[in-house]
Amino acid sequence: MSAVATMSARSHLTMAIAIMGLLYFIIGFFTWINGPLITFVQLAFELDEVNAFLVLMVFYLSYFFLALPAAWVLKWTGMKKGLALSLAVMAVGAMLFGEFSTQRWYPGALSGLFVIGGGLALLQTAVNPYVSILGPIDSAAQRIALMGICNKTAGILAPLLLGTLVLHGIGDLAAQVEAADLATRAQLLDTFAAKIHTPYLAMAGLLMLVAVGVLFSPLPELKPAEANAETGADTGADGGTPRARRNIFQFPHLWLGVLCLFTYVGAEVMAGDAIGTYGQALNLPLDRTKFFTSFTLFAMLLGYLAGLVLIPRFISQERYLSVSAVLGIVFTTGAFFTGGYLSVGFVAALGFANAMMWPAIFPMAIRGLGRSTETGSALLVMGIAGGAIIPQAFAVFKQHFDFQLVFLLLMLPCYLYILFYARSGHRVGMGSRR
């Protein structure tokens, strides 16, 4: 290859990574704004905790219902058109959420979140395998870690932005609402809810601009089925004729990976979005707990930086996943046996433990899927529904049992299963591939 061709290839790779970084930033912003949104809807719509946690339930269930249709859409549209479409769908969802929240109609606001989640399901189904196959699959965790830095930077900014623009002085406002008569109460809440409209309208406009930019960008089309072809173990027992493995059910490491992502996302959302509720249960001030999600995301950012440096130069992505799972167990136990800000600190530290889990699990689970890569990616994205189920279970059970015990009993099994997948689960059915 000539020097000019090499420079051109590097330029295209750099452009592709830059565009993917922007898209991961968008994913992070709209994912991690959900934590402070729980605080917003609980006051604006006068909800109890269980109903406020429907923000997470609806948002993450959209992945479960729409990930497979997203894979079909991508096969029809191709990469760039699919990415642009996903951003446009998110823009519509942002407009719906802003409008219905201003009207204080909770089912409508939830429908807006579901539409945003649907756009993100399409976006994630495309970008995750794309980044995984931009280079060698064994170093995919490093590339996804770079994307994760963009994602978690957005995750840090989102709660700060919402906290400043919308939730500023929410502790005093909550006290005023509590003491007000019905007419004054309604007026206060209407004014508060209306503060969400302009930020979400601005987000919708920016999403549409990015959609147009992606559509006309030089982003190269990659075919996951060709780049992630089956090798090694697809040969027969005599090392000769390749075995045809076209049925998605013939890849047990994928299905175990779907469950692994389910448990991981559940644990991640508990540490990131439920940390504010956790802090409130410890009787910490509302004006401080609204920022707790940013602490978890800062810890995740540090975890991504560590992964970017260490993988695969000093440690494999499989071994790093094992270490991360053990840290999750340690920090979860620490949160249970402590109280106050120290306990919250352990929950926030889970962000560091969780950081490299998605970058490690996803490429391990899609390894060697060949023509089933798009479908496998969609199934893995469906596993994001763990962010709906596990936090909702926390919200329900904490009404009846000690919240720290509930947190412990929900989180420990998640990290134990992730440890199993890191140690042996990702090799099930892989044969001589490893």
What is the per-residue pLDDT for 2?
A: 41
Residue 378 CB partners (closer than 8 Å, separation 6+):
67, 68, 70, 71, 125
Specify whether the CB–CB gap between 44 and 193 falls below 8 A: yes
Amino acid type, 219: L
User: Which token pair is 316?
Assistant: 């494999």
Nearest Cα neighbor of 261 from 118, 99, 425, 409 is: 425
**4 pLDDT more than 60:** no
What is the per-residue pLDDT for 230?
A: 53
What is the per-residue pLDDT for 1?
A: 42
Specify whether the CB–CB gap between 19 and 219 falls below 8 A: yes
User: Which token pair is 28?
Assistant: 């992070």
Q: Facing residues of 195 across strands? A: none
Which bin fits 135, alpha (ψ -120 to 50), beta or left (φ > 0)?
beta
Number of H-type helices and E-type strands within the chain: 21, 0
Per-residue pLDDT of 153-167, as tens digits, reads 898 888 889 988 888
Alpha-carbon torsion, ordered 240, 246, 249, 253, to 10 deg: 60
Greater model confidence, 143 or 433: 143
Q: What is the DSSP letter of 424?
A: T
Separation CA 323–CA 339 (nearest Å): 25
Arithmetic mean of pLDDT over the chain: 85
**221 pLDDT more than 90:** no
Specify whether the CB–CB gap between 353 and 328 falls below 8 A: yes
Nearest Cα neighbor of 135 from 19, 322, 7, 10 is: 10
What is the per-residue pLDDT for 9?
A: 54
CA 376 to chain CA mean position, Å: 17
Q: Give Cα separations from 223 to 129, 133, 134, 368 (angstroms).
A: 10, 9, 10, 14
Element (H, E) at 180: none
**Residue 42 placed within a domain:** yes
What is the per-residue pLDDT for 263?
A: 97
CA 343 to chain CA mean position, Å: 24
CATH of the domain at 108: 1.20.1250.20
With vertex at residue 402, the alpha carbon angle to CA 414 and CA 419, rounded to the nearest 5 degrees, is 15
Specify whether the CB–CB gap between 144 and 20 falls below 8 A: no
Separation CA 56–CA 59 (nearest Å): 5
Per-residue pLDDT of 222-280, as tens digits, reads 655 555 555 444 444 344 434 445 578 888 999 999 999 999 999 999 998 889 989 99
What does 295-322 look like in DSSP terms, one character per residue? HHHHHHHHHHHHHHHHTTTTS-HHHHHH
**Residue 365 placed within a domain:** yes
Whether pTM > 0.75 for this model: the answer is yes
What is the per-residue pLDDT for 267?
A: 96
What is the per-residue pLDDT for 78?
A: 80
- In this structure, of 89-103, 122-136, 157-171, the range with the lowest mean pLDDT score is 122-136
Helix axes 292-310, 252-272, angle to 10 degrees: 140
**Residue 231 placed within a domain:** no
**Residue 141 placed within a domain:** yes
Could you tell me where the DSSP H helices lie in 103-139? 106-132
Per-residue pLDDT of 337-372, as tens digits, reads 999 999 999 999 999 999 889 888 988 898 888 777
Could you tell me where the DSSP H helices lie in 180-248? 182-194, 197-215, 224-227
**Residue 404 placed within a domain:** yes
Is 91 exposed, middle or buried (CB count within 10 Å of its CB: 0-12, 13-18, 19+)? buried
User: Which token pair is 144?
Assistant: 């996804």
**Residue 229 placed within a domain:** no
Nearest Cα neighbor of 29 from 235, 307, 272 is: 272
- In this structure, of 46-50, 140-144, 185-189, the range with the lowest mean pLDDT score is 140-144
Residue 424 CB partners (closer than 8 Å, separation 6+):
none
Residue 321 CB partners (closer than 8 Å, separation 6+):
356, 357, 360, 361, 364, 418, 421, 422
Greater model confidence, 3 or 69: 69
Separation CA 351–CA 331 (nearest Å): 10
Number of folded domains that form the chain: 1
Greater model confidence, 172 or 322: 322
Structural domain boundaries, residue 35: 3-216+246-433
What is the per-residue pLDDT for 228?
A: 52
Separation CA 115–CA 103 (nearest Å): 18
Separation CA 422–CA 321 (nearest Å): 6
Categorize the per-residue pLDDT at 290 as very low, low, confident or very high, splitting at 50, 70 and 90.
confident
